[in-house]
Chains A and B, each alone.
Chain A
């Protein structure tokens, strides 16, 4: 890879700067596409976490329901632990995925992503979704019945 931060000794006699490279409309378009690709990756993390939350929550609630149906049945700790593990994985995944996305956008800004390209919408929904996951996690671990 060519280091584009330093002006290069030109082969044809002309020098150029990093800003000139970033200003090329093809490079600018590529930067915006890369930023959108990172956004789609974050949204993909959100969908993955939704699956993990749903499964984890469904398992625990299903077993509360079954325990309520049969007075004699002893509630096994296994499904609850499985549910907790799944929701915790989902919370960690969305947290690290969001951090990853922010780091990627920052790196793209450094190499010339235009400042008017906003990427706060998926970031905001990921943050809200993270709070929901933490609430579910607290609810399961405190044995709340929904």
Chain B
């Protein structure tokens, strides 16, 4: 038990071997938490991107549909351009977020983060989402 349950108990000094081991363990856990936090940032970018895709796709397709109605005004290209721009903005922000994530991961690797491949899942998912976005953008531009 000791100082685990009673913080009043004197801590092992920084010079002792136990104190050094504790400090190393704390530093290791801090890097792991920072890597998890970085993962959440990338996933947050993915959500932002999905919102942009949704809105862009909906704008482009809804106005396509309205223009096809009988008695509709002349077909306008504005909504399709807006939709295309929104999807492209989503792709660009996702790619930049992915690059930033990989850079942060490399930095944390230099700081002693181990098993960097354990943090690749969000990066792969982001790459898949970017590919889907590119397909969407191509689909909108080809109508």
Contact = CB atoms under 8 A, between A and B. Distances in A.
Interface of A: 1-2, 4, 8-12, 14-16, 20-28, 30-31, 33-34, 37-38, 40-41, 44-45, 47-48, 51-52, 54-55, 58-59, 62, 66, 69-70, 73, 78-79, 82, 85-86, 89, 92-93, 96-97, 100, 111
B51 A51 contact: yes
Nearest to A38: B36
Nearest to B39: A41
Contacts of B17: 8-12, 14-16
B46 A51 contact: yes
Contacts of A24: 3-4, 11-12, 22
A100 B120 CA distance: 11
Contact of B30 (A30, A78, A111): A30
Contacts of A111: 25
13 contacts: A2-B21, A8-B17, A12-B15, A26-B26, A38-B36, A40-B40, A44-B40, A45-B43, A58-B58, A62-B61, A66-B65, A78-B139, A85-B132
Contact of A52 (B50, B61, B114): B50
Contacts of A41: 36, 39-40, 43
A51 B17 CA distance: 49
A1 B112 contact: yes
Contacts of A47: 43, 47
Question: B37, B47, B114 — which one has the most chain A CB atoms within 10 A of its CB?
Answer: B47
A41 B36 CA distance: 6
Contact of B29 (A12, A34, A96): A34
A55 B86 CA distance: 15
B43 A1 contact: no
A70 B70 CA distance: 11
B28 interface: yes
Contacts of A89: 125, 128-129, 132
